[in-house]
C-alpha cells in the first residue's frame, strides 16, 4: 500500500511544474495564486508545489578588479602584488600592508582560471560518486575531504547517478578543469575513459573497486571476507539454514559477499545447499520487502532461520516486512545486513551488519591520490581493507 506512495516520490510535483512553467522559460511564470510573502498568511490552501513569491529588484554591480588595478592603487608593480599573494615573505611589511589594503578596498578576488592556466593545475580534487543518497558514499566523501583539507585542496563532489554517460561527462569536464586528481567509484568495471585520464596526466584512484593490473591505484574492502564474517556469525549462533538475499549478480559486491558466505559454510563443514539464494533486482528497500514474502513462502522444512542481506537497504526492507508479517526477529528469522549505515542501528530492531571502514576508505584513497600527484616515485597500490561485524539485536536476541 505504501509502496505506491513511495515509488515515484514526487511524480505529481514534477508534472505540476510542467503545468505551471512553460518548458522553455528560465523562470516560472507566476501562477495567479502567487502572493507577496510579506503579506498575511495564505488564505485557503494551495496545492503542494504551488509557489508563493515575493519579488525585488536585482542590484547591478561594478566590474571586477584585477591584480593590475590593485597594483595601480597601491603604487607598486604587478609582480609585487603577485608576491603578496603567493610569497608574502619576499615583500617588506610596509608594502605588503599597502597592497593588502588596496585589495581590501577594491574587493579584489583572485581569478582562479588565470592562476590555474599559468600554474598548469588547479587546487581541486573531485570525487565522482555513484549515489550521494547512500550514506556509505557520503562517509567515504567525508574521509576524502579531511585529507584534502589538510593538503589545502578542495573537493568537488560529482554525482554520476549510476549513469555511465553522466559519469563520462563529468570525467571529461574534470579533465578540462585540470583538477589535481580524481577519485571515483565507477559505474561499470570497464570504462575506457578511466584509462585516458591517467594517460593525460590526471591521477585517478578507484574507490570501492579493485584496480586491475596497470589500472592505477584502488582502495576497497574485502567483500568475500565480509560475507564470511556475516555467515560465520550466523553459524556460530546456531543457524544451519541461511538465506542470501541480494542482486543483481552483475555487481561484484553481491558475488563476493555470497562467495564469502559459501566459504563460511564450507569451513563449518556444511554443504553449500544450506545457503538459499534469493536474487533481487537491485539493492533497495523495496526489493528487501519483496524478498521477505518469498522467504516466508518457503516450506517450513526448508525455510532458512536466518538471512544475510547484500546490503542494509535490503535488510531494512526485509526487517520491516517481517515485523509486519509477525515474523519475530531474531527469534524466527535472524537478519544480517551489510554497510552498517546509520539507519541500521536505528531500525525498529537494531540491525547486525558488516561494517566497512568508510572514512578510512576515503582517507586512504585521497592519500594515494595525493601521493600519485606529487611523488614522482609513486607506485600504484591496490589497498584492500578488512571489514568487521557489528552485532546487534537482529541476530543477538
Partner DNA sequence: CCCCTTCAATGAAAGGTTTCAATGCTGTGA
Partner DNA sequence: TCACAGCATTGAAACCTTTCATTGAAGGGG
Q: Which of residues 293-352 bind its own copies (CB under 8 A)?
A: 316-317, 319-320, 323-324, 340, 342-343, 345-350
Whether 74 and 82 have beta carbons less than 8 Å apart is answered as no
Identify the residue among 104, 105, 112, 236 touching its own copies (CB under 8 A): 112
Q: Which of 79, 107, 248, 397 binds its own copies (CB under 8 A)?
A: 107
* Inter-residue contact 322 to 304 (CB < 8 Å): no
Q: List binders of its own copies among 242-281 (CB under 8 A).
A: none
**Cα atoms in the Cβ-side hemisphere of radius 13 Å centred on 215:** 20
Question: Smaller CB distance to its own copies: residue 197 or 278?
Answer: 197
Cell of 150: 589538510
Which option in its own copies, DNA, none does residue 245 bind, with CB closer than 5 to 8 A by kind? none
String of DSSP letters for 313-328: HHHHHHHHHHHHHT--
Q: How many residues bind its own copies (CB under 8 A)?
A: 126
The binder of 47, among DNA, its own copies, none, by C-beta within 5 to 8 A per type, is its own copies
What SS3 class is residue 124? strand
Angle between helices 93-106 and 78-86 (to 10 degrees): 90
> How many C-beta atoms surround the C-beta of residue 3 within 10 A?
9
- Residues of this chain that interact with DNA (CB under 7 A) are 64, 66-68, 75-83, 85-86, 90-92, 94-96, 108, 110-111, 114-115, 117-120
- Verify cis geometry, omega within 30 degrees of 0, for the bond prior to 194: no
Give the residue from 252, 298, 300, 253 showing the smallest Cα distance to 278. 298
Q: Which one of its own copies, DNA, none is in contact with 15 (Cβ closer than 5 to 8 A by kind)?
A: none
159: contact with its own copies by CB under 8 A: yes
Asked if 368 interacts with its own copies (CB under 8 A), we say: yes
Question: What is the rounded CA–CA span in Å between residue 227 and residue 262?
Answer: 8
Here's the x/- map for its own copies, 371-390, by CB under 8 A: it reads as xx-xx--xxxxxxxxxxx-x
Interaction between residue 75 and its own copies (CB under 8 A): no
Closest to its own copies by CB, 79 vs 107, is 107
Segment interacting with its own copies, rule: CB under 8 A, options 16-24, 66-74, 81-89, 233-241: 16-24
| Least Cβ distance, residue 113 to its own copies (angstroms) | 4
Rounded distance between C-alpha atoms, residue 353 and residue 391, angstroms: 7
Does 95 engage in binding with its own copies (CB under 8 A)? no
Instruction: Please name every residue paired with 244 in a beta bridge, in sequence order, or none if there are none.
Output: 277, 308
Amino acid at each position: 500500500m505504501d509502496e505506491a506512495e513511495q515509488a515515484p516520490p514526487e511524480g505529481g510535483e514534477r508534472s505540476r511544474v510542467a503545468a505551471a512553467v512553460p518548458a522553455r522559460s528560465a523562470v516560472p511564470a507566476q501562477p495567479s495564486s502567487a502572493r507577496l510573502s510579506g503579506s498575511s498568511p495564505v488564505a485557503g490552501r494551495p496545492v503542494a508545489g504551488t509557489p508563493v513569491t515575493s519579488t525585488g529588484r536585482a542590484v547591478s554591480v561594478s566590474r571586477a578588479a584585477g591584480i593590475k588595478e590593485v597594483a595601480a592603487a597601491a603604487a607598486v608593480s604587478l609582480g609585487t602584488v603577485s608576491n603578496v599573494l603567493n610569497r608574502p615573505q619576499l615583500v617588506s611589511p610596509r608594502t605588503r600592508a599597502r597592497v593588502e589594503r588596496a585589495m581590501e578596498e577594491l574587493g579584489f578576488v583572485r581569478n582562479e582560471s588565470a592562476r590555474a592556466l599559468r600554474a598548469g593545475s588547479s587546487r581541486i580534487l573531485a570525487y565522482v560518486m555513484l549515489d550521494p543518497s547512500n550514506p556509505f558514499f557520503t562517509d567515504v566523501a567525508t574521509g576524502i575531504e579531511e585529507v584534502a583539507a589538510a593538503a589545502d585542496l578542495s573537493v568537488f563532489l560529482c554525482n554520476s547517478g549510476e549513469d555511465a554517460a553522466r559519469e563520462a561527462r563529468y570525467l571529461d569536464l574534470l579533465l578540462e578543469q585540470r583538477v589535481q586528481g580524481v577519485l571515483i567509484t565507477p559505474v561499470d568495471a570497464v570504462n575506457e575513459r578511466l584509462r585516458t585520464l591517467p594517460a593525460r596526466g590526471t591521477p585517478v584512484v578507484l574507490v570501492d573497486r579493485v584496480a586491475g593490473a596497470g589500472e592505477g591505484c584502488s582502495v576497497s574492502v574485502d567483500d568475500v571476507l565480509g560475507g564470511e564474517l556475516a555467515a560465520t556469525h550466523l553459524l556460530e549462533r546456531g543457524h544451519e539454514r541461511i538465506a542470501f538475499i541480494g542482486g543483481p549478480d552483475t555487481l561484484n559486491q553481491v558475488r563476493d559477499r555470497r562467495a564469502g558466505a559459501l566459504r563460511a559454510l564450507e569451513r563449518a563443514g556444511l554443504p553449500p545447499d544450506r545457503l538459499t539464494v534469493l536474487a533481487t533486482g537491485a539493492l533497495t528497500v523495496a526489493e528487501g520487502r519483496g524478498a521477505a514474502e518469498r522467504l516466508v513462502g518457503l516450506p517450513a522444512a526448508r525455510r532458512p532461520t536466518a538471512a544475510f542481506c547484500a546490503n542494509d537497504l535490503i535488510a531494512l526492507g526485509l526487517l520491516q516486512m517481517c515485523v509486519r508479517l509477525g515474523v519475530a526477529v531474531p527469534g524466527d528469522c535472524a537478519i544480517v545486513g551489510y554497510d552498517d549505515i546509520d539507519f541500521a542501528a536505528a531500525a525498529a530492531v537494531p540491525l547486525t551488519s558488516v561494517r566497512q571502514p568508510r572514512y578510512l576508505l576515503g582517507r586512504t584513497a585521497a592519500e594515494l591520490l595525493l601521493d600519485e600527484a606529487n611523488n614522482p616515485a609513486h607506485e600504484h597500490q591496490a589497498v584492500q581493507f578488512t571489514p568487521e561485524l557489528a552485532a546487534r539485536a537482529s541476530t543477538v536476541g
